[in-house]
């Protein structure tokens, strides 16, 4: 659990993934023949010398905020980096990752006691919120933070039950963890060259995967990410029938087909591997959202790509919730699929 905790708790807003990359490079160096960090910031571990090249991707970045302005009174306004629901922001504790050191802050707004009726009935937009860092004025605030500093949510790592974990940045640090464990558990000799890739800037356009896939030019690829379960109140079964604890989700299509539509051979490989090895799995048709697979499979002449996602409640907030059973089953499924890769 220490590695999982380290990955989830380290800061790495899109475009600022260096600390996550350092962990990925450190761990991949234990299992790969060669590890590079490309010009974009992706970490690429290479293992084996087989003719077939198989890429496995998990994104390192997390959603967050960025300092946009400092007011005369010393309050910080911000923009969102990645998809964040404004309703989740109010009163959250955050940490501004300033060059001079971490700065704590609280996201504030106009007090409810002073709001007019029409104001209280509306969602407060993020541009109307601010961060209080305790500065008395702009001059004092500017001694602590600068425009462009990334901001992360100040969250904890812990257990809700014996198998249920909560943490920040589970999207997609648990995918990064799975990637590292897959490389650890794979047999020493495979009839393929495996590329384990920690990608950058997935949350803001799937950018790192596009760059890495172009460089590697793989014959096949897998993406590991998170997905939305429907086992909480207010989510209809028709919106999502996935459950945490019921196994990883094998994706058929993302964003109603605007994202990846998984290659039939790749999804059948995953489904048949799960059935043969009695690994629990679920089938995922995603109405909104995409993964790195959506960029990888369009690279060059096209790359047959499969996606395995770990069901996670409350993704794109300061606390995601997932099951260790699903994470372990994801690792097991990928190891078995790669060990018996017969396409």
Judge whether 17 counts as a catalytic residue. Answer: no
DSSP 79: E
CB 227 within 8 A of CB 309: yes
Between helix 18-28 and helix 2-9 the angle, nearest 10°, is 150
What is the phi/psi pair of residue 197, to 5°? Answer: -125, 120
CB 128 within 8 A of CB 80: no
How far is it, in rounded angstroms, from Cα 77 to Cα 68? Answer: 6
How far is it, in rounded angstroms, from Cα 238 to Cα 286? Answer: 11
Q: Which of 17, 27, 62, 202 is catalytic?
A: 202
CA 151 distance to own-chain centroid: 16
The Cα angle at residue 66 between residues 61 and 72, in degrees rounded to 5: 170
How far is it, in rounded angstroms, from Cα 10 to Cα 1? Answer: 14
Q: Are strands 249-253 and 282-285 parallel, antiparallel or unpaired?
A: parallel
Q: How many CA atoms lie within 13 A of 284 on its CB side?
A: 34
Between helix 170-185 and helix 18-28 the angle, nearest 10°, is 10
Both structure tokens of 50: 């087989």
How far is it, in rounded angstroms, from Cα 14 to Cα 261? Answer: 25
**Residues designated as active site:** 202
């Amino acid at each position: 659990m220490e590695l999982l905790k380290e990955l989830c708790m380290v800061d790495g807003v899109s475009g600022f993934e260096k600390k996550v990359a350092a962990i990925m490079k450190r761990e991949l160096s234990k299992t790969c023949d060669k590890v590079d960090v490309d010009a974009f910031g992706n970490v690429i571990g290479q293992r084996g010398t087989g003719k077939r090249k198989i890429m496995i991707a998990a994104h390192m970045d997390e959603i967050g905020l960025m300092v946009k302005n400092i007011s005369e009174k010393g309050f910080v306004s911000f923009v969102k980096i990645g998809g964040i629901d404004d309703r989740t922001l109010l009163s959250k504790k955050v940490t501004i990752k300033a060059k001079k050191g971490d700065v704590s802050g609280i996201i504030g707004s106009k007090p409810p006691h002073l709001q007019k009726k029409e104001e209280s009935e509306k969602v407060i937009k993020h541009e109307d919120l601010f961060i209080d860092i305790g500065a008395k004025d702009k001059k004092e605030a500017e001694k602590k933070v600068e425009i462009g500093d990334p901001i992360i949510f100040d969250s904890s790592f812990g257990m809700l039950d014996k198998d249920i974990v909560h943490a920040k940045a589970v999207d997609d640090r648990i995918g990064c963890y799975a990637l590292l464990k897959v490389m650890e558990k794979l047999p020493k000799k495979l009839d393929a060259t495996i590329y384990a890739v920690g990608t950058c800037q997935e949350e803001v356009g799937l950018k790192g995967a596009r760059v890495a896939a172009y460089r590697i030019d793989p014959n096949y690829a897998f993406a590991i990410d998170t997905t939305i379960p429907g086992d909480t109140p207010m989510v209809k079964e028709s919106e999502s029938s996935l459950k945490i604890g019921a196994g990883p989700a094998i994706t058929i299509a993302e964003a109603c087909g605007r994202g990846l539509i998984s290659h039939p051979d790749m999804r059948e490989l995953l489904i048949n591997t799960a059935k043969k090895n009695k690994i629990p799995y679920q089938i995922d048709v995603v109405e909104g959202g995409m993964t790195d697979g959506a960029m990888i499979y369009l690279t060059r002449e096209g790359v047959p790509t499969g996606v395995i996602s770990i069901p996670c409640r409350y993704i794109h907030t300061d606390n995601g919730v997932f099951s260790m059973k699903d994470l372990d089953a994801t690792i097991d499924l990928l190891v078995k699929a790669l060990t018996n890769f017969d396409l």
